[in-house]
Structure 1
């Protein structure tokens, strides 16, 4: 585990890096940054967890990767190429999938139509990608004609993840996948995230349930005031006294 305020950044092996943020400054309003020098590396096949107090910039970091917030400094690369300034459709073509916390399905459309919307840029691969996502979310395969608006919150989350996976992304960005779900559905959401990652999809997850997030992720980043204050293996961060004292005492304290 490293304290980024005290230790210099370590060299990155570019051969297996999928996503990298270098000293990123970004914000929504002119002259006001939410991210203030954020750094992150996600390698092939990793599950990365991002935790931190409210207002730390966790969701903003994902939105910066997906071109939804203005990046004013630093760089963001996907598979070694800068993606700064690219719109969402271009980012999807570059292999970036994003599942927002809310409004993440088309409620008037069926599950099948939602999945087809995820492939509007490449409909020819629908059959193979449908097979992939229904291996992870088997329930959806039997309910393709059901309208998404009739689903529970946890079921909608499954549809949203599946739609983002339809384009075979290099990296999947998940913003608070357990938000608003019952404890049972929260556990199910974390299991599904792990299943997606085990299927070979590099995953970056922002999560308020800090303990549960760190239990399943390969590596975690603790954001504070728009910077990565701590970084390390998920289990190591769970046991680090500084992280426990500063963050885990108020984050996800009800999680086992």
Structure 2
């Protein structure tokens, strides 16, 4: 399956340049040590892309490479055809890229509202318009004290909603999500995946790294299995779920 050219799902924009194209990227944190060893990824407009693989495979590093947080030593990354390789995070946000890290993804001393305001730091006039959109996706944030609650007192699931909401405040073209279900209860995990699907259906291209591999592949349009910093398998979520090699090598150890 990894040798086949994956096609975008029906309804995805396939004409012109992909929203995100990662081409043979080599990258790492320490001099002379690469975590990514030729990683490749294509995300078309409107797609939900899932990235799975064993611990240490480079999944989170791939997202950080796209978001300008890892030194890229080879290859290139484009956004809508524009080369963004190594561009700093603030520039990427202005160009329509949102990133939600796995940890430390809210400002705990600030209220929910202030966290959302931080999302429009570059364009504060967007706040009134975008906060209505975010509240439409995360209505639970307005309950029990509403937007004046301190983020530090929220549950893990509520913090995840705030982090997603803040990233959406700049109306991104693409949203990068690093382990959105990590540390959540099974019920909250289901809610996190539901919210990602809703964000995607609202028109945002999503690229999601997940340890809950089966659940990830169930909702994504296409998936990439990363191993040792490069693509081991790629295909639609359904294809990967049914592939016996993927099941044997990865799904048996990556969360039922």
CA contact (8 A) 2:220 2:237 kept: yes
Out of 129, 146, 149, which is 2:149 matched to?
A: 146
Pairing 1:155–2:166 present:
no
CA contact (8 A) 1:14 1:80 kept: no
Pairing 1:55–2:56 present:
yes
Give the TM-score normalised by structure 1. 0.94
In the alignment, what sits opposite 2:178? Answer: 175
In the alignment, what sits opposite 2:73? Answer: 72
List, as ranges, runs of 4+ consecutive aligned residues in structure 1 with deviation greater than 3 Å.
Answer: 7-10
Q: Within 5 Å, which residues of 2 pair with 1:20-99?
A: 20-99=21-100
Deviation at 1:8, TM superposition (A): 7.8
CA distance in 2, matches of 1:131, 1:9: 36
Q: Within 5 Å, which residues of 2 pair with 1:188-227?
A: 188-227=191-230
Deviation at 1:127, TM superposition (A): 1.0
In the alignment, what sits opposite 1:237? Answer: 240
RMSD over aligned Cα atoms: 1.5
CA distance in 2, matches of 1:85, 1:154: 32
Q: 1:9 to 1:237 in 2, by over 3 A?
A: closer
In the alignment, what sits opposite 2:123? Answer: 122
SS at match of 1:159: helix
Q: 1:8 to 1:17 in 2, by over 3 A?
A: closer
In the alignment, what sits opposite 2:135? Answer: 134
SS at match of 1:67: coil
SS at match of 1:50: strand
CA distance in 2, matches of 1:223, 1:242: 14
Give the TM-score normalised by structure 2. 0.94
Give the number of equivalent residue pairs: 249
CA distance in 1, matches of 2:235, 2:6: 13
Pairing 1:185–2:181 present:
no
CA distance in 2, matches of 1:9, 1:133: 32
Deviations 1:180-225 (A, max 9, x none): 0011111111111111101110000000000000000000000000
Deviation at 1:128, TM superposition (A): 1.0
CA distance in 2, matches of 1:161, 1:13: 26
Q: 1:111 to 1:244 in 2, by over 3 A?
A: same
CA contact (8 A) 1:26 1:35 kept: yes
Gaps of 5+ in 2: 8-12
